[in-house]
Every structure is written in structure tokens, then in C-alpha cells.
Chain A
Amino acid sequence: MGIRARLAAIAGGIILLPARLAEPLMAGLQKILGIKRMPWVFLLPNLLAVMLFSLLPVAINVFYSVTGSDRLYPSERPFVGVVNYETLFDCTNYLDASTCSSDLFWRALANSLVFVPVQVTFMIGIALVAAVCLNREIRGRGFFRAIFFFPVMLSPVVVALTWQWILQRNGALNGVLTWLGVSPVNWLVFPNTAFFWSVFVTVWAHMGFYTIILLAGLQSIPRDVYEAAKMDSATNWRVFTRITLPLLKPVLLVVFVLCVIRSVQTFDELYVLTGGGPGSATMLIVQYIYEVGFAVQPRNFGLAAAASLLLGVVLLIFTGLQLRLSRNSQNG
């Protein structure tokens, strides 16, 4: 027996044992409840977990956002009303972050407003080109696919430390620049370059995921459409804009929504890579929530909760809008 077969047998044994125990239990349940109620039995564990660890936390967050003090337990937190929201929106001039009482929030918001569109554009653009290239009949396709997906496997900490190691003053990038006769740069010390690299590193780390999804979309486009285009001797560019893009639109939409949501939530990589610095040049909205709620003493759970609820509402509206748009375009 080969190693793979043996491993499969062991894994199968581990998984099947509880199943054998579950079978009489579930059959008994079915006798008591009847087939009609069985779907709820199947749903129950998942619904319980979802409620306990997703929906309940949101409710608690609402409670946090209208209460004050730095205490964790709800019974120790006095009600303060909309003070936390007022603090966030307390600005004399909304276009100038320094006139706001929580200026860091507005800086983080402004950073996110630049970061998200730029990152999403590059992410989807490059992932699409990569997917189209990897979908062609080329040598070493499997190898290239593997390489493009590889960084997705790495943890955010590893990604950040890797690039920190390359971008530091005595790092590999500056080494190459010196060799080319260009003077070294402190990449993560200047706001503009730090911002550039924060976009670059996050695109680098997550691009493979979207490439794979787009690749799957490309492969679901029927071959004969392309054959027909070939008959008409259409150019590659024309085939791409007239056939590939329109047929890929539903997948592109999924990728776009996923990409925006995850882009807004960017935290781990930048937290380890730049720590939000220099100053607050690469601090995004989720890091602001983390800083206010956990890093800065005294912990302001109320303000963090208010900011995170605002973020949640914005994301919800955005996704709803996207779904509405996609439904309209599919009908029309």
C-alpha cells in the first residue's frame, strides 16, 4: 500500500468513527422529529456558532458603542448615548483632519479612501492579466500557476517580515539599487514610498487568490465561442474585449466585491510591516479600530465599537449596491 493510500485510509478512519456513532443518534432524532424538521437539525450547529460568534458580537458592539469607560464587562459600563459617534464626527472642517477631535480616525479614513481604490484596481488588473496568461496553452502552465498562488499560502506575519527584510536600509532592494548606481532609499521612512509599498505588498500577498478565481471563470467559458472567433480571424485584443470580458463579468463582479471588502479590512500585513507609520501615513481604518480599542491606554472600547459599526454599515451598503447592480445587469 502506498503512503498516500495509507494516509487516506487513516484520515478516513478518523472521520468515519464519529459518523458511525452519529448515525443511530441522528436516525433516532429523525423518528422523533420527522423528515420535515431534519433540515433544522443539520442547520443547528452552524446557526448556533454563527449566532454566538458573529451576530451576538455585533449586538454587543452596538451596546459598547453607546456606553463609556474602559471596562470590558457590560455590567460595568455606564450608558453615554451617542457621545462616541459625536466624538468621531466632531470636526470644524471635514476636509482637514487636524481640525477634528479624533483626527486619527479621519486620517485613517482618508488613507483607506485612497488605499482601497488603488489597491483594488491594481489587484484585479494584474490578477486578470495573470489569469488570461495562465489560461493559454503554454509551457510550464502548472508551474506558473503554482508560483502565482504561492504567496497566498504565507501568513501575514511572514509576508510582512519578508518584505521588511528586503526593504530595510541595508536590504536586498537597496543592494540592487547600489549595484545599478542609484543611491539607497529608506523605503519605509517616507510617507509616499511607504504607502506605495503597502499597496505593493498587499497586492503581492493576495493576488494569487483572485487569479485562481478568475482562472476558474475563464475556464467555464465554452471553447466553441473562441473557435468561432478564430474562424472570423478576430484579433486577440478583439477576442478579449468582445468575448472574454463580457462572459467573465459575473465572476469579475464577485472578485470585485470580495476584493473591496478584504481591502477595507487590511490589517495584519501593514501592522507588522509599517505599524501604520511613518506617522499615520499607512494607518487604515481597521488599524485605527485596533489602536483605539486595544493598543492605546486607556482602552476605548466604545469609540472602537462606534467606528467599527460605521465601517460595517458602509460595507453593507456597498455590497447591497453591488448585488442590486449585478441583478439589474443580469435582467437587462
Chain B
Amino acid sequence: MADVALSKSGSSMRGLLSARRGRNRLDVSDWLTYGFLVLGLLIMFTPVAWVVLSSFKTQANLQEFPPSILPYSSETAMVGGFDQPLPLFDVTLKDGTKARLAQIRRVGRNAQMIDPENPGAGRVTVAVTDAVAVRKVRLATENYTNLVASSGQAMGRYVYNSLFITTVATIITLVMNSMAAFALSKYRFAGSSVALISILSTLMIPATVVLVPTYLIVAELGLVGNLWGVILPTVATPTGVFLLRQYMLTIPDELIEAARMDHASEWRIFWRIVLPLSSPALAVVAIFSILSRWNDFLLPLIVLNRREVYTLQLALNSFQSEFEIRYDLLLAMTTLTALPLACAFIFLQRYITVGVASTGIK
């Protein structure tokens, strides 16, 4: 691929870009491709980056319009005679000189200021238009520390609940679905197509549509307010069975016959031969299971009715309704909730592409 162009091209940048085409210039389709991808990059990524950046802004900074790109905070100074630190302003005085003053209070279009270096000089009245707040770039990490402090132990609890549900549900999903997929791909038996259809038909049933009856069943099992009440209804995913079955169909039956000759039990064949061979498909099912369990909202909202069993998503939602305009905490919480998956994603995204490609969605 990189056999030409790099040496020929004068400018290294153009050489880099055109190296793969084996020519010295990019053709129209390349320009269109890069244009589309860069536009996509902007639209896909800036919103998330913006929220993360905003989560480091102070409350005052968040309420500004138009919003500043970087997180700023106003500088303040302690002035003798005042309990609170006062915000600093660069002021153009009436005689044209500039000074750095501290604002005591604002009345209409005028502000009362005082010189922080020399409080004895008395108060000055300044028009608001003549004063510019003194600001510097600063990450307001107190959004995060406040968040953890205000929720106390609860935050750890939410993280634990989310992790527990995600891990346990994913493991059960993988074992259960691969068992079913094994039965449906490696055996011929009466009723196999009925079983396959009844499993796949559940793909058609929107979770919201069967919400009331699902709640009823969970309640009858005595699992309301219990993490297992969220785990059990979601473990048998039809897509998982389908993906795994399609993949297992490609595993040659001779392998299984050979193992039977050696008197391996069916379970041993499943666990020691078929399962390891299906690992790419298992990885895909695992990733999608982790994603949907971690992000699930509606079922936990209904089943997990006590604060102690809240997941991160529920906590995030209750944050939004409890503190109406506490955007500083809300944005920090949003970032925290999305963070673990973002990290996992960096490691896993290669497997997603490769895995989906090899699981035979055709």
C-alpha cells in the first residue's frame, strides 16, 4: 500500500494523504470521503466534548451567554470588613485611568466598588459597562467533589449496583444464550424450529409494550426493589441467540462427532469445544449486553423503587428532576455516567467491527 508517493511528494502532508492511493494527488472521491468523515467527526464528537468541558465550569460560568469555550472562573479577593470574598473587576475610571477593583454590590446599571489594596479609600460608584470581570481558565473540579460529597456513600452504591447488574446479567446472558444457540445449531430434533421461532419472535415485542405485565411478574416473584428483578427479565436476548447460532453453524460437525467418539459428554463438547471456538461471536454479544444493561433506563425505573438500589442512570435522572437548574452537578454526573463505557470502548472498538463482520449477519 505505502509503496509510492511518500518519497516523490514534496510536501510531507500531501504525501501522507495520497500515499494509499498510489498517486500524487487525491481524486474527487477522496475529497468527498474526507469531507464527510471530518464533518461526521465534528457532529459526532463535539457535543460530547462540549458536555465534558462544560462539566468543569463554575455555575456562574455555565449561565453565561454566549457560552465561553473554555471553563473560566472569576477571580475574587478577600477585603477587610467583608465576610465573603468579592469578585474582581478591571475598571476604566472616569478620569481614564484603569484600576482593579472589587465589587461590593450591583444596583441597576451601577456597581459599588472598593479598592482591595486600599479599602480605607472608600467606595466608588462605577457604571457596569466600564467594568470587565477578571477571569482565568480554571477547571472547576469542585463540581465533581461536590457531587460525591453531596451524595456521600450513595455514589459508590450506584456504581456498585450498575456494575453488579451489568456483570451478572452479561455472564448469565452469555451462558444461557450460547447453550440455546448450541442446541439450535448442532442438533436435529423435533421442535427445534418451533423453539427457534418462539425465541426469535420475542424480538418483535417492544420492552415498553410488555412493561405492565413484566412488572406484575417481577412483583409476583417478590423481586421489586431487588437488583435481580432487573437482571432476570433481560437475560434471554433473542438477538444473542440468533448471532451465536449463526456463528456456531459455521463450526464443522466433524469436530463434535470426533469428540463423541472419545466419549466426551455433550456438556463437555459444548463447554470445551464449541464455546471457545465461538469467542468472536461471544465477544460481540457480551459487548452489546454490557451496553444495554449499563444504559438501561425504563425497567430499572419501575422495578428499583428505593434509593439504595438505584443504578447510575436512575440517579442521573433523579438528579435532573430534584435540582432543577443545578447544571454544574448534572453535567458532572452525566460525564461520570458515560465515562466507564467510553474507557471500555477505547479498548473494545476493534473487536466490535471485527466481531460483527465475522458473525454472519448476511
Q: Which residues of A contact B58 (CB under 8 A)?
A: none
Considering residues A15, A64, A268, A315, which has the most beta carbons from chain B within 10 angstroms of its beta carbon? Answer: A268
Q: Chain B contact residues: over half helix, strand or loop, or mixed?
A: helix
Q: Which residues of B contact A22 (CB under 8 A)?
A: 267, 271
CA of A108 to CA of B196 in the docked complex: distance in angstroms? 34
Residue A94 is within 8 A (CB to CB) of chain B in the complex: no
CB distance from A128 to the nearest CB of B (A): 11
Q: Contact between B63 and A170 (Cβ–Cβ < 8 Å)? A: yes
Q: Which residues of B contact A150 (CB under 8 A)?
A: 44-45, 48, 342, 345
The answer, among B66, B291, B302, B361, for a CB contact under 8 Å with A153, is B291
Chain B: residues with Cβ within 8 Å of the partner, total of 100
Residue A277 is within 8 A (CB to CB) of chain B in the complex: no
Which residues of B, 171-221, contact A by the 8 Å Cβ criterion? 171, 176-177, 179-180, 182-184, 187, 189, 192, 195, 198-199, 202-217, 219
Q: Contact between B210 and A61 (Cβ–Cβ < 8 Å)? A: yes
Q: Contact between B48 and A154 (Cβ–Cβ < 8 Å)? A: yes
Q: Contact between B349 and A45 (Cβ–Cβ < 8 Å)? A: no
Q: Contact between B214 and A53 (Cβ–Cβ < 8 Å)? A: yes
Q: Which residues of B contact A55 (CB under 8 A)?
A: 198, 202
Q: Contact between B212 and A293 (Cβ–Cβ < 8 Å)? A: yes
Q: Contact between A46 and B334 (Cβ–Cβ < 8 Å)? A: no
Which residues of A, 16-66, contact B by the 8 Å Cβ criterion? 19, 22-23, 26-27, 30, 35-36, 38-40, 42-43, 45-47, 49-50, 52-61, 64
The answer, among B195, B213, B361, for a CB contact under 8 Å with A213, is B361
Q: Which residues of B contact A216 (CB under 8 A)?
A: 353, 356-357, 359, 361
Q: Contact between B45 and A157 (Cβ–Cβ < 8 Å)? A: no
Specify the chain A residue showing the minimal Cβ separation from B302. A294
Residue A259 is within 8 A (CB to CB) of chain B in the complex: no
CA of A209 to CA of B337 in the docked complex: distance in angstroms? 20
Q: Contact between B208 and A267 (Cβ–Cβ < 8 Å)? A: yes
Residue B155 is within 8 A (CB to CB) of chain A in the complex: no
Q: Contact between B353 and A212 (Cβ–Cβ < 8 Å)? A: yes
Residue B310 is within 8 A (CB to CB) of chain A in the complex: no
CB distance from B212 to the nearest CB of A (A): 5
CA of A288 to CA of B334 in the docked complex: distance in angstroms? 27
Residue A245 is within 8 A (CB to CB) of chain B in the complex: no
Which stretch, A113-121, A138-146, A188-196, touches the partner chain B? A138-146
Q: Which residues of B contact A35 (CB under 8 A)?
A: 266
Per-residue contact bits, chain A 278-309, to B (CB 8 Å; 1 contact, 0 not): 00000000100110011000000100110011
CA of A153 to CA of B211 in the docked complex: distance in angstroms? 24
Contacts beyond the supplied A43-B184, A250-B362: 15 A-B pairs with Cβ under 8 Å: A22-B267, A23-B267, A42-B182, A54-B236, A56-B217, A138-B37, A146-B346, A146-B349, A149-B349, A155-B294, A155-B338, A162-B47, A216-B361, A286-B206, A286-B209
17 A-B residue pairs with CB within 8 Å: A38-B187, A43-B179, A46-B180, A137-B21, A145-B349, A150-B44, A156-B295, A156-B297, A157-B337, A169-B65, A175-B67, A212-B352, A213-B356, A290-B211, A294-B211, A309-B209, A315-B204
